[in-house]
Amino acid sequence: MTDQPTKPCCGTAEAAEAASACCDPAAREEATEAGATCCAAAAEASSVDDESYPVVVIGAGPVGLAAAAHLHERGLAFTVLEAGPAAGAAIAEWGHVRLFSPWRYDLDHAARRLLETAGWAAPDLDALPTGAELVEGYLKPLAKLPQLAPHVRYDARVEAIGRAGMDRVRTAGRDRAPFVVRLASGEDVPASAVLDASGTWRTPNVLGANGLPAHGERAAADLIGPALPDVLGADRATYAGRHTVVVGAGHSAANTLLALAELAGQEPGTRITWVARGGSIDRAVGGGDADALPGRGALGTGVKRLVESGRVELVTGFAVHAITPVGGHAELTAVDGRTLKADRIVGATGFRPDHSIADELRLDLDPALGSTRALAPLIDPNEHSCGTVRPHGVDELTQPEPGYYAVGMKSYGRAPTFLLATGYEQVRSIAAALAGDWAAARDVQLDLPETGVCSSNAAPAGPQLEPAAVSSGGACCG
C-alpha cells in the first residue's frame, strides 16, 4: 500500500491508462477487454492474482465485525476468522463488566446501518452496556446478518501469516503475491489483504516490575487470577472470605477493587489490598467529576473513596520482585524487600500485543509500544489520554508489508489508551483504501470524550470497563 494511485481506475480503458493502475477484478477485466494495456501488463506480470482472494479479518469482536461491515459496503470480498466458538468470544469472558462508555460510542456506523436495515432497534444510546449485553445485543445479531454470516468462520485460530511462494527475505513480486493465513487445523487460507483485529486479551502483562515475570510467578499461576474475575458471580467462592491482593493501577484494577469491596460487604473475612508499582494512584482516579463520561469519572471517585474509608488497603511503590507459594497462599516480595501475603492475587497490569503470527511479514514496530512507528507518537500514554488521541487511519497503520494491518486494541501495542470508536474509524479508513477510495480513506475524523487521564471508570450500578478494551480479542486498558 506504499505506492497508492491518486485516482482509482473506473473500468474504462481511458481511465485505466490515465491512472496507470489496475482496480478490482471486475473493473480490470472490463478495462482489459477494452484494451487497457496497463491492466493487461499487470495481469501478465503476476502468475497469482491476489485480488481474486478475499480480505481476511482476524477476530469477530467489535472491530473485526466493523471491518467486515465496511468491506461489505465497499463491495470487497472478505472472510472473518474467529478463534472462539461465537462472535465476541473474548468479551464474553468478562461479560459481567459494565462499559463506562454509553452505547453511542460502542456502535460502528456501517454495522449499525446493516442492522437497522434488517429491522434491528438500537438500544438507549445513553445507557451503559455490560460486556454480555454488547455481545448479545449487538455482536451476535451483526454476525448473523446474511451479508456477514456466510463469511464468518468460528473455531478458526490463526497460527501464522505469510506470502505465497516466499519468505520474509524475498522482495521481487512480493506486493503481488497473496497472503497465506495458516490455521491451527493446518488449513491455508489465501487473502488479498489481512486485518488483524485479534486484540490482546490472551496476552496480559506479567506482574514482575521490570517487564519480566516475577521470580516464581509461573509456579504460582494457580494463585493468580485474570484481570477481570467475576468476583460477584462465577468466581465468588474463590474470593469470598479471603485476602486478595490486586496488582495494577488502571481500569482493570479499579473494576476489580469495586467488585471486591461489594463482596466484602456481603462476605465476612474478605480483605482487599491494592498494590501499585508507582507512588500514586492518579491513573486510576482519573478525571473524576471533570470526566466527559460520567461512568468513567465515577470509577475514579469510587476507588478513591474505598481507599479513604479504609475498605481497601493501598500499598504504593511496591514493585513485585518475587512470588512464593507457601501452603496454598502466596507471598509477594517487592524489589525493596517488603512482603505481602495473599490468598489470591489479581494481575491487572495491562496487556501487550503478540505479533508472533506475523513473523514472516515485514513489520516496522515502535520499539517501546509495539505499534506502527507512525502511530506511536499519537498514542504514547506518557503524552496522551483516550480523549486526546488524534484521528488516524490507513496511513498511520501501514506497514512495510503491503496489505497487512494490525487494527483495534492490537494496533495500540502496549498503550492503554484505545477506544472502540478509534478502532471503528481505523477499519473504515482501511476499507476505503482497499477499495481505492483514497479521499475517503484519508478523511479521518474522530469525536472522543475528554478524559483527563485514560484510566478510570465505573458507575454506582457496578464495575465497568474502558470501551476500547473490547477489540476482537482484546481487553481493557491496564
Tally DSSP H helices, then E strands, for the chain. Answer: 16, 18
Reported residue count of the chain is 478
> What is the per-residue pLDDT across 256-289, written as a single tens digit (0 to 9) for each?
999 999 999 999 999 999 999 887 666 655 544 5
Of 319, 347, 375, the residue at which a domain comes to its end is 347
In a domain, 2, yes or no: no
Highest mean pLDDT among 244-253, 283-292, 347-356, 452-461: 347-356
Same domain, 158 and 178: yes
Task: Note the pLDDT of residue 423.
Answer: 96
Distance in angstroms (rounded) separating the CA atoms of residues 206 and 119: 45
Of 329, 347, 365, the residue at which a domain comes to its end is 347
Dihedral angle, C-alpha 472, 475, 476, 478, nearest 10 °? -130
User: How many distinct structural domains can be found in the chain?
Assistant: 2
Task: Note the pLDDT of residue 337.
Answer: 97
Same domain, 306 and 399: no
The helix (run of H) or strand (run of E) holding residue 37 is helix 37-45
Find the domain containing 283 and state its range: 221-347
Same domain, 328 and 358: no
Distance in angstroms (rounded) separating the CA atoms of residues 121 and 4: 39
Contacts of 141 (CB under 8 A, 6+ apart): 115, 120
Of 314, 347, 380, the residue at which a domain comes to its end is 347
Q: What percent of the chain has pLDDT over 90?
A: 69
Angle between helices 109-117 and 420-434 (to 10 degrees): 80
What CATH number is associated with residue 331? 3.50.50.60
Q: Give the range among 11-15, 148-152, 166-170, 434-438 with minimum mean pLDDT.
A: 11-15
